[in-house]
A = this chain, B = another copy of it.
């Protein structure tokens, strides 16, 4: 933390800043410039906030000199984390394709889609059994029944399962069936849920909140790692902006930034990010070209009759064609599909 002292601050006011720093168990490193004095805070500053200092009358500004997270950073672990997922190690050369319907609708539906996406080259099957819904009147998924159908689809195809867990109470239940526990965008800052999935031994796919900035997102990953679970994939799924031709605004620049700042793999969900199936293939190519380690893609054999989010789902034929088109893009950036 670096604290800039106001011009004209009195000696007493400055000494109050020093005392505040020391009371927090840190050391103050005062530099009196001819025009401007600055105080560096030395010690364990990870839990400190600039606001704790700007409230003091002598302080013009306070800002972090270092990142507020540790365990997720490249400094802490220089080599990339790789997470096994079916035939892929997510974060290595091969790009993970996680495909499937928004929502599990029936055993027949999920098994049929699983077979199609497996045949097309998917590494894992996505599908929601518990669905967060904006309206209390909307369909919220089949619950445990849906999880069982997912397990059946896995039994028939070998595809590992990525599915969402929404509450602490359901962590054990979902973990019984899922291979990867998905934390949805609305739950990104459900800190107790993060800690709960931090205590289990399954990979976690953490989706970026709709209005979360990079630092907040990485601090949520830090919550999970801090509890002992090192297998976290971070997922960009679009942010909320004024743009309205897409459901959210896909912000791909975060992909290379996370890869540079952290050792964690990054997944992109172009289906939710755009909300428009005709833009999904281009968005997948963009994500791969910018360094994504995996894609989370909604696929349905009959998007027009999907119960949820049909307008953003690819049909199976488009998905098959897309996998073929992605291969050369992956190769162009030194990766594989």
Contact = CB atoms under 8 A, between A and B. Distances in A.
Interface of A: 2, 4, 16, 20, 29, 31-36, 38, 40, 42, 46-47, 49, 51-52, 54-56, 60-61, 63, 65, 68-69, 132-139, 166-169, 186-187, 189-192, 210-211, 213-216, 219, 222-223, 226, 239-246, 249-257, 260, 273-275, 277-279, 282-283, 285-291, 303-306, 309-312, 325, 328-329, 331-333
A251 B64 CA distance: 28
B33 A29 contact: yes
Chain copies in the assembly?
4
Contacts of A135: 46-47, 68-69, 219, 222
B65 A36 contact: yes
Nearest to A307: B52
B61 A63 contact: yes
A279 to B, nearest CB: 5
Interface residue SS majority, chain A: mixed
A139 B329 contact: no
Contacts of A138: 47, 49
Given A68-B135, A246-B253, 10 more contacts: A20-B304, A35-B40, A36-B40, A38-B40, A51-B310, A61-B63, A167-B192, A186-B190, A260-B278, A325-B333
Given A29-B33, A251-B243, A285 B274 contact: no
A239 B243 CA distance: 9
Contacts of A291: 282
A40 B29 contact: no
